[in-house]
């Protein structure tokens, strides 16, 4: 069902400092910050040869990332994103197997302008899973 790893998302307390660390210390290709108001985050993508790293920073007072940073002030891995070819079929199959989809169960448009869903971390060994429809 799941395809390739699309990205690993890291919540960071200082987006500019984190982006600079990847750019200057690790020599990575770092994208520009983009606000994603529907998800309450500002994101920066780090392009790697085989996947991406997504830096997450809170956008607005109701950002879910702020709650994560309150519990983890230094930041940390927030979620893993896997690609799927049909997000509705993947959602339905996962729900039939007992997985819980967060929110209202309907896909939202993500940072790559593709439909995305999130799966409850308690169903996946404590890891929040994002599914992104590609292709």
Q: What is the rounded average pLDDT of the residues 105-122?
A: 96
Model confidence at 114: pLDDT above 90: yes
pLDDT of residue 135: 80
Q: How many domains does the chain have?
A: 1
Which of 27, 16, 28, 17 has its CA nearest to residue 53? 28
- Residue 32 is encoded by which pair of tokens? 């520009």
Is 16 part of the annotated catalytic residue set?
no
pLDDT of residue 122: 96
For residue 20, give the CATH number of its domain. Answer: 3.10.180.10
Model confidence at 123: pLDDT above 90: yes
pLDDT of residue 78: 97
Q: What is the rounded average pLDDT of the residues 17-36?
A: 97
- pTM for this entry: 0.93
pLDDT in tens, 38-87: 899 999 999 999 999 999 999 988 899 999 999 999 999 999 999 999 99
pLDDT of residue 129: 98
- Residue 70's domain comprises 5-133
Indicate which residue of 20, 36, 83, 130 is catalytic.
130
pLDDT band, very low/low/confident/very high, at 130 (cuts 50, 70, 90): very high
């Amino acid at each position: 069902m799941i395809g390739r790893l699309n990205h690993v998302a890291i919540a960071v307390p200082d987006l500019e400092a984190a982006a600079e660390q990847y750019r200057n210390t690790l020599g990575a290709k770092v994208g520009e910050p983009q606000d994603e108001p529907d998800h309450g985050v500002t994101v920066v993508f780090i392009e790697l040869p085989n996947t991406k790293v997504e830096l997450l920073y809170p956008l607005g007072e109701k950002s879910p990332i702020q709650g994560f940073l309150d519990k983890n002030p230094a930041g940390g891995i927030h979620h893993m994103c896997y690609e799927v070819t049909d997000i509705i079929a993947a959602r339905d199959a996962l729900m039939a197997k007992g997985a819980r989809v967060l929110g209202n169960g309907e896909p939202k448009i993500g940072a790559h302008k593709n439909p995305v869903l999130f799966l409850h971390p308690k169903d996946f060994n404590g890891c929040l899973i994002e599914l992104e429809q590609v292709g």
